[in-house]
Amino acid sequence: MTSKINLPIIDALTVKNYDLYPGEKNRGITIEFKNGVTVLAGTNGIGKTTLLNLLLRMLVGPLNPAKQNQDIGRVSKRLLVSPSKFEYFKVRVSNPKKNATATISFRIGESALVVTRQINSMKLEKVVINRKQIEFQTEVAFIEHLARLSGLSSSYDFHIAVRFLQFFSEERLPILWSPGTQFEFFNILVFDTDLSSNIHSTFAEIQKYDTDQRNRHHQLQKRKENMPEPEPTELELAALDSTIEVMKLEFSEIDKKYNAKVKEHSETQSDIELLQKKIEEYEAKQHELEERFSVADAQYIAQSLPTMDSRLRFLMHGFGSGKGCFVCGTRVRKKAAEISKELRKGNCFVCHEPIKTARSGNIVPLSAKKIKQLEDNILSLQCSIEQYKVSLDERTSSAALSLSEISELASARLTLQRKIDILKAKRPKSDNESYSEAFGFIKSEELAIENLDRLKKEAVERYRLLVDKAQKEMDTMQEEIASGLKKYAESFLQEEICIKFTRNTPFKLATGAGKVNIPTFSIAMTSNTHPVPHDRKDGESVSESQKEFLDLAFRMALLDIICSDKASMLVIETPEASLDSWFMIKAAELMRKFAEKGSKSSRKLFATSNINGTRMIPALLGLIDETGEIRPLKESEKGHLVDLMKVTAGTAALKESDAKKFLEDELMRIAHVEA
């Protein structure tokens, strides 16, 4: 198969002003990566993983997939996002220098790139492509360019391919054991651009329909739970409304009467108050007039009666005329003189007290007319008072009656109002969602959800058809993959391995979507208990180390197909983990097979390894001969072993001279340069 993909091949890495990698005399480090296997040897905590991560981040930058922890086989939004801060390398030194930089030289196809980044943030400082400096506005733009150079569809594809295919690091993303991931890698690296794009977009579409459908279904269930009471039928509602209207009319009538009565009563009360005031006022006037009349009447009587003078004259006349005393009739003349004397003194001749006499002459007598006038005025007032009292009685009776009527009307009004309120309460409330509105919404939502389901199913069908096409493309490389995988796997496992390419693996496209069988490679393998190759569908069916290395073998086979006669690079972190001595050798053989020298194109494999007294490092470097003896490194091979103890800041253990000597001796023993 001829691939158009060119993955990056690292040639060199230079680090300056970074305390983790000071180099000799703090001049920084430069590591050249030659074809074949390069071992980055070091002790625990010396910075092996950091160095591999540096190599990775120099290629892909600080960007990460939008959904980092998600299974890449199930990613619908294939986007890279820039973190607000990327301080992975900055925090690994106590005093990060602002001018700490790293420069990586690598190739993508025919393009030679030299990229310099600030280590503290991984920010691009300089990009030179084919000796031309190029400015990129954003990191994403740079990665997009790299993707184009690589022949990949997007910056996302470039990131995935480099990070999870080329770099077999701590993350150890399983490809062989995850059908979805496997298919995704084929999609990224193998399938036709259009097919790949369609598969991705259809998958995203299915995901979207599924997410929408599930969300809306959840919301719908909640709405159903909170659904209002069912409304009465239209007929019942009409009858209810009609009754309410009739009652409202009745109420309106009663209300009018009630208000009119209240007004009438109020006016009557006002009249009563006015009348009472009038009566009081007139009675006061009457009393005053009667007082005046009483005095005037008495004065009139007094002026009508003879005065004291006339009485005295009358009495004296009796004496003077010889008729004698008016009391006893005695005619005694001398008594007349005595009486006259008393009278002249102004005394009463009977009791001898001074007589008070009224001055006469100048006083105008009261006329009967004036008395009559007073009497008429009093009578008039009395009549008026009587009339007012009659009116008052009438008004009071009227007020009592109207009060009684008001009470009845108020009671009827209240009863009617209550009835109306009860009937109104039976109607659906206008301020809250009505049953019909809720029902309508639910129906429309159910329809929408059904539609989404239909669309999803259609998309799944389309996806199935796309997978059919994909299967055909994968078919073309079936043999190559199978042979490559077999080659690498058997060199490591020493078991008989059969590679199967089937479309039996159900792949759940979305939580609520159906499954589509996707074409996947699987292996069948013999074991001590299975003399005949037995299907190993998942990683649980093999040991951890077998799982890792079979996955590594699959990567190698995939890289072989993609890169074929082109350059290829694989970066592996501490491959000896969990391997016994024999399998270390076998693993090393596996890796050396990948980066075999003498290939037409550049094949590189970088591996970090612990200095742990094992033969992993010499095995990786190919220093173990047929007899099992370790030969020294040739001068020309010196570059394939990077002694990190010499270029890194070292660990606390290395500060102890004994430990350092011990480890250095260890390394020397297993990988020393030929003298």
- What is the binding site for another protein (CB under 8 A)? 294-295, 297-302, 304-306, 310-311, 314-315, 326, 358-359, 361-364, 366, 368, 371-372, 375-376, 379, 383
Tell me how far, at minimum, the Cβ of 290 lies from another protein, in Å. 10
Closest separation in Å from C-beta 271 to another protein: 21
| Amino acid at the residue 255 | D
Cβ nearer to another protein, comparing 221 with 304: 304
* Long-range contacts formed by 492-495: CB under 8 A, 24+ apart: 492/549, 492/550, 492/553, 492/583, 492/586, 492/587, 492/589, 492/590, 493/525, 493/546, 493/549, 493/550, 493/586, 494/586, 495/525, 495/526, 495/527
- Spatial separation of the C-alpha atoms in residues 563 and 557, rounded to whole Å: 10
Q: Quick one: residue 135, left, alpha or beta (phi over 0 = left, psi -120 to 50 = alpha)?
A: beta
Rounded Cα distance between 167 and 137, Å, is 27
Q: How far is the CB of 332 from another protein (least distance, A)?
A: 18
Structure tokens at 73: 């086989």
Rounded Cα distance, 560 and 485, in Å: 10
Which residues is 673 bridged to in the sheet? 633
Q: Shortest approach of another protein to residue 382 CB, angstroms?
A: 10
26 or 360: whose CB is closer to another protein? Answer: 360
Nearer to another protein, 307 or 411 (CB): 307
Rounded CA separation 330/395 (Å): 73
CB of residue 378 vs another protein: minimum separation in angstroms?
Answer: 9
> What are the backbone angles phi and psi of residue 91, rounded to the nearest 5°?
-80, -5
Contacts of 508 (CB under 8 A, 6+ apart): 514, 515
Residue with smaller CB distance to another protein, 298 or 447: 298
Q: Which is nearer to another protein, 394 or 473 (CB)?
A: 394
CB atoms within 10 A of CB 521: 23
CA distance linking residue 504 with residue 520, whole number of Å:
8
Q: How far is the CB of 321 from another protein (least distance, A)?
A: 13
C-beta closer to another protein: residue 26 or 310: 310
Smallest gap, in angstroms, from Cβ of residue 280 to another protein?
Answer: 20
Q: Which neighbouring-strand residues pair with 113?
A: 106, 129
Least gap, CB of 250 to another protein (angstroms): 40
> With respect to another protein, which residue has the nearer C-beta, 227 or 371?
371
Which residues share a beta bridge with 29? 15
Q: How far is the CB of 243 from another protein (least distance, A)?
A: 50
Report the residue number, 27 or 311, with the smaller CB distance to another protein. Answer: 311
Distances in whole angstroms, Cα of residue 551 to Cα of each of 204, 507, 555: 27, 19, 6
Nearer to another protein, 350 or 532 (CB): 350
